[in-house]
Amino acid sequence: MRTPSAPPVSRRPRSDYIGAAGFFAVLFGLAAALYAATMQVDYVWRWNRIPQYFAYQQRTELRAEADGEIEAVAARGDRRLITVKSDAGVHLFDAPAEGVRVAPGESVYAGDLLAVEEHWRPGLLMQGLWLTIQVSLIATLFGVVIGLFAGIARVAKNPFFRWSALTYVELIRGSPLLVQIFIWYFVLGTLFNSILAKNGLNQIPPLWYGVAAMATFAGAYVAEIVRAGIQSIHRGQNEAARSLGMSYPQAMIHVILPQAIRRILPPLAGEFVSLIKDSSLLGIIAIRELTKATREIVTVSLQAFEMWFICALLYLILTFSLSLCVKYLERRMVV
Amino acid sequence: MIAVRNLFKTFWQPHRVDALVDVSLSIAAGEVVVVIGPSGSGKSTLLRCLNRLETADAGHVFIDGVDVLDPKTDINRVRAEVGMVFQSFNLFPHKKVLDNITLAQRVVRRRSKAEALRKAEALLAKVGMPEKAASYPDQLSGGQQQRVAIARALAMDPKVMLFDEPTSALDPEMIGEVLEVMKALAREGMTMVCVTHEMGFAREVADRVVFMDGGAIVETGTPEHFFVNPEHGRTKLFLSQILK
- In chain A, residues with a C-beta closer than 8 Å to the C-beta of B107 are 246, 250, 254
Q: CB–CB of A255 and B92 under 8 A?
A: yes
Whether residue A309 lies inside any domain: the answer is: yes
Q: Total domain count for chain A?
A: 2
DSSP 8-state symbol, B124: H
What is the residue range of A80's domain? 57-122
From chain A, pick out residues whose CB is under 8 angstroms from the CB of B92: 237, 240-241, 255, 259
Domain end point (choices A77, A93, A122): A122
Band of residue A158 on the pLDDT scale cut at 50, 70, 90: very high
Does the residue A5 lie in any domain? no
Phi, psi for B93 (deg, rounded to 5): -70, -20
Residue A241 to residue B92, Cβ atoms within 8 A: yes
Q: Could you tell me the pLDDT band of residue A335, with boundaries at 50, 70 and 90? A: very low
Q: Are residues A300 and A189 in the same domain?
A: yes
- Same domain for A253 and A186: yes
Q: Do A245 and B79 touch (CB under 8 A)?
A: yes
Q: Is B91 on the interface with A (CB under 8 A)?
A: yes
Tell me the shortest Cα–Cα distance from A157 to chain B, in angstroms: 15
Q: Do B107 and A246 touch (CB under 8 A)?
A: yes
Residue A4 maps to a domain: no
Mean pLDDT of chain B: 94
C-beta separation of A210 from A185 below 8 A: yes
**Residue A7 clears pLDDT 80, i.e. is over it:** no
Q: Which residues of A touch B81 (CB under 8 A)?
A: 245
- Residue A39 in domain: no
Nearest-neighbour CA in chain A from B225: distance (Å): 33
Chain A residues within 8 A (CB-CB) of chain B? 234, 236-237, 239-247, 250, 254-255, 258-259, 262, 335
Question: The CATH number of the domain where A248 resides is what?
Answer: 1.10.3720.10
Residue A254: closest C-alpha in chain B: B103
Whether residue A133 sits in one domain with residue A72: no
Say if strands A89-96 and A113-122 run parallel, antiparallel, or are unpaired: unpaired
- The reported pLDDT for the residue numbered A4 is 61
Q: Please indicate, yes or no, whether residues A76 and A181 belong to a single structural domain of this protein.
A: no
The distance from CA A115 to its chain's CA centroid, rounded to whole angstroms, is 37
Give the one of A240, A245, A250 whose C-beta lies nearest to B90's C-beta.
Answer: A240
With CB atoms and an 8 Å threshold, state whether B79 touches A243. Answer: yes
- Whole-number Cα distances in Å, B163 to A113, B87, B159, B193, B207: 93, 8, 13, 6, 15
pLDDT in tens, A172-191: 999 999 999 999 999 999 99
Among the candidates A122, A137, A163, a domain finishes at A122
Helix, strand or coil, per DSSP, at residue A174: coil
CATH number at residue A98: 2.40.50.100
pLDDT of residue A107: 85
**Which ipTM was obtained for this model?**
0.93
For residue A298, pLDDT beyond 70: yes
β-pairing, B216-221 vs B208-213, is antiparallel
On whether both A215 and A295 belong to a single domain, the answer is: yes
Chain A within 8 Å of B169 (Cβ-Cβ)? no
Closest to A245 (Cβ–Cβ): which among B76, B91, B92?
A: B76
In this complex, the residue of A242, A243, A245 whose CB is nearest that of residue B77 is A245
Contact criterion met (CB < 8 Å) for A245 and B156: yes
Task: Determine, for residues A240 and B86 on separate chains, whether the beta-carbon distance falls below 8 Å.
Answer: yes
Residue A201 has pLDDT above 60, yes or no: yes
Q: Determine, yes or no, domain membership for A177.
A: yes
Same domain, A148 and A252: yes
pLDDT band for position A8 (cuts 50, 70, 90): low
| Low pLDDT (below 50) residues in chain B | none
CB of B104 closer than 8 Å to CB of B155: yes
Residue A98 lies in a domain: yes
B46 touching A, CB under 8 A? no
A218: closest CA of chain B, how far (Å): 28
**Residue A284: inside a domain, yes or no?**
yes
Torsion on CA atoms B215, B216, B220, B226, rounded to nearest 10: -60
Cα distance between the two ends of chain B: 36
Task: Identify whether residues A130 and A203 lie together within a single domain.
Answer: yes
What is the per-residue pLDDT for B158?
96
Q: What is the mean pLDDT of chain A?
A: 90
pLDDT digits (tens, 9 = 90+) for A252-271: 999 999 999 888 988 988 89
Does A318 lie in the same domain as A255?
A: yes
Q: Which amino acid is at A8?
A: P
Both A117 and A128 in one domain: the answer is no
What percent of chain A has a predicted confidence (pLDDT) above 90? Answer: 60
| Distance to chain B for A155, nearest Cα, Å | 18
Which residues of A fall within a CB distance of 8 Å from B51?
Answer: 243
Residues A207 and A286 in one domain: yes
Are residues A335 and B94, on separate chains, in Cβ contact within 8 Å?
Answer: yes
pTM of the model: 0.80
Q: How far is B79 from chain A (nearest CA, A)?
A: 5
* In a domain? residue A41: no
Residues A99 and A195 both lie in one domain: no
Q: Is the pLDDT of residue A53 over 60?
A: yes
Which among A214, A226, A224 has a CA at the least distance from the CA of A133?
Answer: A214
pLDDT tens by residue, A76-127: 888 888 888 888 788 888 888 888 888 888 888 888 888 888 888 898 999 9
**Residue A112 near residue A186 (C-beta atoms within 8 A):** no
Domain boundary among A81, A104, A122: A122
Give yes or no for residue A1 having a pLDDT over 80. no
A150 and A118 within one domain: no
